[in-house]
Amino acid sequence: MYGAMRERASSSTRLAGGVTAVTTTAVLALAVVVGMGGQIAKVLEEKLIFNVIPDMSAPPPLEIKRTFDLANDTEIDRPLPRVDVPTFESDDPPIIIIADPGPRARTDTGTGTPEARVAPPKAPVRTLAKLLPAAAPPYPAADVRKGNEGTTRLNVCLDARGRVTSASVAGSSEHASLDQAALKWVREAKFTPAKVDGAPEAVCGHSVDYEWKLNTR
């Protein structure tokens, strides 16, 4: 019986020792957990502190809205100051400046009435020398007997007073005696002077035709 009880007591002792061991282990585990809790919290706190990056961007500008009460704004109803502008009176007529349009472009297309053009300068007015009435030259007797007739053309030069300065036969009558008689006659003839715009001038190359014709009546 004592052996059984010792055995039973040993079992109780072992049970109590086991409970004590379990309790001690739990206490140690709790102590470990409690002791490490501060370190874990510290680690988490350090990670949170170093991992949080503050936003360095500039904040958006503040939008300021102003409202105006037009009904109560007294500045709008304030009249503008009067400005006196001096005026000047003058009896002189106003000056009007007209720009020169320049030469007018020609629009004539070849049809219709042509545009008026500037007339060219007038040509000088010339007046030819004129033979004054004079007695006819004598008909050569030999040509009268032979019945010679014809026209002698004479070329004369005149001075500004109408006097003959030279003469020559420009066209023959086919009879030398008649040509010489006409040449002698024209050298003694008188002319009115040639004129240019009313002013007398000397001329050369004035032509005179003398016709030789017999009166057969």
What lies within 8 Å, CB to CB, of 142 at 6+ separation is 148, 177
Structural domain span for residue 160: 126-212
Instruction: Report the distance separating Cα 179 and Cα 212, nearest Å.
Output: 10
Question: Among 46-50, 95-99, 167-171, whose mean pLDDT is lowest?
Answer: 46-50
Backbone torsions φ then ψ of 8, nearest 5 degrees: -70, -40
Which pTM value belongs to this model?
Answer: 0.44
- Is the model more confident about 93 or about 122? 122
- Cα 170 from Cα 128, distance rounded (Å): 19
CATH, residue 183: 3.30.2420.10
Predicted confidence at residue 188, as pLDDT, reads 94
Q: Is 74 contained in some domain?
A: no
Check whether 154 has a pLDDT greater than 60: yes
d(CA 151, CA 175): 9
Residue 121 lies in a domain: no
Distance CA 4, CA 9 (A): 8
Q: Does the residue 143 lie in any domain?
A: yes
Is residue 53 in a domain?
no
Residue 115 is assigned to a structural domain of this protein? no
pLDDT of 152 above 90:
yes
pLDDT beyond 60 at 168: yes
Residue 157 parent element (H or E): strand 150-158
What's the domain count of the chain?
A: 2
Question: Does residue 151 belong to any structural domain of this protein?
Answer: yes
Whether 92 maps to a domain, the answer reads no
Residue showing tokens 């030999």: 142
Helix (H, G, I), strand (E, B) or coil at 98: coil
Q: Which residue has the higher pLDDT, 156 or 15?
A: 156
Q: What is the pLDDT of residue 156?
A: 97
pLDDT of residue 148: 96
DSSP-derived 3-state class of residue 7: helix
Instruction: State the Cα–Cα distance between residues 18 and 24, nearest whole angstrom.
Output: 10
Calculate the dihedral angle through the C-alpha atoms of 190, 192, 193, 198, rounding to the nearest 10 degrees. 170
3-state secondary structure of 109: coil
CA dist., res. 3 & res. 1, Å (int): 5
Q: Residue 179: what pLDDT?
A: 97
> Domain for residue 55, yes or no?
no
- Of 3 and 154, the structure prediction assigns the larger pLDDT to 154
- Find the helix or strand (DSSP H, E) in which 24 lies: helix 2-51
pLDDT at 146 over 80: yes
What DSSP designation does 149 have?
-
